[in-house]
Amino acid sequence: MSEISVGSKLPEARLLKLGAEGPEAVEMSAVTKGRKVVIFALPGAYTGTCTTAHVPSFMRTAEAFKAKGVEDIFCVSVNDPFVMGAWAKATGADKAGLTFLGDADGSFTKAMGLSFDAAAAGLFGRSKRYALLAEDGVVKVLQIEDSPGVCSVSGGEALLEAI
């Protein structure tokens, strides 16, 4: 599948978040319908650049996104919801208002055309690093990194500047 692009509709997908009673299904179409949302995705929970640069950039900019009418900021990774829930707490992202969603089987990432393998790092079927703004489920701004270890065009400040 080719990479998603500006003007594309987000694919139908069921992601998982960790709720009070355990994993809860989150339908992408339901959380984006009629809403302005930011989705940023990264190769893996607890990994270097993801933890030290990407997540903190959206924690720093969360209020500025809200001021621009963004209703939710979702962090997506090919991880299970338990890992994503623990990582959101460990980084403080949950308190900053970010919602972490696990794409446990990678189906959303594959449907977006943004899956990659980094065998040397033990990462298979992971998400490329990107950030996007979607309105009513349609991609309005999309910024994809050329390398998974870099967080420049997909960081919170860069996306904020682009919208």
Rounded Cα distance, 117 and 94, in Å: 28
Which strands make up the sheet holding 72-77, listed edge to edge? 22-27, 14-19, 98-102, 72-77, 36-41, 130-135, 138-144
151 is catalytic: no
Contact between residue 13 and residue 114 where contact means Cβ atoms under 8 Å apart: no
Helix (H) or strand (E) holding 90: helix 81-91
Rounded Cα distance, 130 and 148, in Å: 9
- Backbone phi, psi, residue 37, to 5°: -135, 155
Tell me which of 4, 50, 78, 98 is the catalytic residue: 50
Beta-bridged to residue 37, according to DSSP, are 72, 134
Residues marked as catalytic: 50
